[in-house]
Structure formats: C-alpha cells, structure tokens
Chain A
C-alpha cells in the first residue's frame, strides 16, 4: 500500500525552531521530497533525500531514516513568511516516479 502521514497543523513563534514529521509506507523508494506551498500558490521544491541522514540547506534541513520510513523537515529561525503548508512526497510504487503526496502540514508562525 501507499500511505504518507503528516500532522495537519502546527503553530510556532517567530525566531523559533520547528520540526515537521512525515512517515511513509510505500512499496518502493526512490527518494523523499519536501515542498512548500503558500496559500493560493503552487508547491515549490524544498529538499530531496535519498540516503539516510541530514541534508542542510540554509535555515531548512531535512532528515531521512529509510529503515524507519521516517523523515522530518527542520525549520530554524522561523520567519512570518514561513507560514505555509509543507508537503511530504514519496514515490508510490517501486521503480516508478509516481509521486504520492501527504495531506500537508499547515504551519502558522506567530509574532
């Protein structure tokens, strides 16, 4: 089966750190993506993990554990503009690039 789970909503304060978790169950694995989507806009690419460990990119980092089917997105030094939905995506079937998205986590950053 194909299943990707994320929390529905999170709230954090400007300047803080927030971790958004994603668990997945897919029959194959070709990497896990994180996308950011502001209200009314298209999703934009944030990160890609195919090997275990942490990938750091400025204020954003993404972690993957393939054995646990688990990933997280870490956002540091939160800014108001980080208020958005964060979508986790993974291939649904082995050997294909049919990317299945989680329902997304709506992050609200408060002043």
Chain B
C-alpha cells in the first residue's frame, strides 16, 4: 500500500489476555518504529528496527512486551498478560533510514484492556 498500515485499528481485550498488533511499513523503508500514546499524552518510544534487528529495546515497558520484524518488512508487537495500564494507542512509523529519516506514521491501533 501507499502508507503505513496497522491492524487491528481497535482492540478490546480482557485483563490477562495476550494481544498482537501488526504493522505493515511503506515498501522499501528500512527503519520501523513503535510508539505508545496514552490519552492526551505525548509519544512514548518503545522500540525501533533497522532491517530485522532491534538496536534499541530500552523503551519496552516490561518483559510482557516483545516485538519482531521479519523479512525487513512486517512487524508484530506482542503484549502478554495485558494489564489495564497497557490501554493506549500504539503507533507504528517507518522511515527510509539515513540521517534525514522523516517518520511516516500509521493510524495506530487503539488497545483497551478491561
């Protein structure tokens, strides 16, 4: 597609369940980012990939969060044993990479944990 695609757009789950959020970046973009945005707040960095490797995972809030990227393309963010504080919009962005890498954002996945 022409832009960054994320799915699902909305997810309601029960506390303790696992969820998977998917991101399809713009074709050819080598860098991929995951951010979290709580209501009325700024963007919290979670993780970024350069190709299939993640040089920096320091933003992942706990070991319940993991992410992978395969084939230098699609990425999945997995949250295990969800908690209510995980409720937020999870934004994915991709970038061509390099020193002037403008980030192109998807519309986000809104996660609500009941």
Contacts and interface: CB of A to CB of B under 8 A. Distances in A.
Q: Do A and B bind each other?
A: yes
A99 B41 contact: no
A60 interface: no
Nearest to A103: B42
B75 interface: no
Nearest to B6: A42
A23 interface: no
Contacts of A87: 42-43
Interface in A34-72: 35, 41-45, 48, 50
Interface residues of A, number: 24
| Of B42, B101, B102, most A-chain CB atoms within 10 Å | B42
B25 interface: no
B43 A97 contact: no
Nearest to B45: A100
Contact of B45 (A44, A48, A92): A92
A96 B42 contact: no
Nearest to A85: B42
B46 to A, nearest CB: 10
A48 B42 contact: no
A45 B45 contact: no
A100 B43 CA distance: 8
Contacts of B50: 97
Given A31-B99, A42-B107, A45-B102, A97 B31 contact: yes
Interface in B39-63: 41-43, 45, 48, 50, 55-56
A41 B110 CA distance: 11
B19 interface: no
Contact of A98 (B48, B91, B99): B48
Interface of B: 31, 33, 35, 41-43, 45, 48, 50, 55-56, 91, 95, 97, 99-108
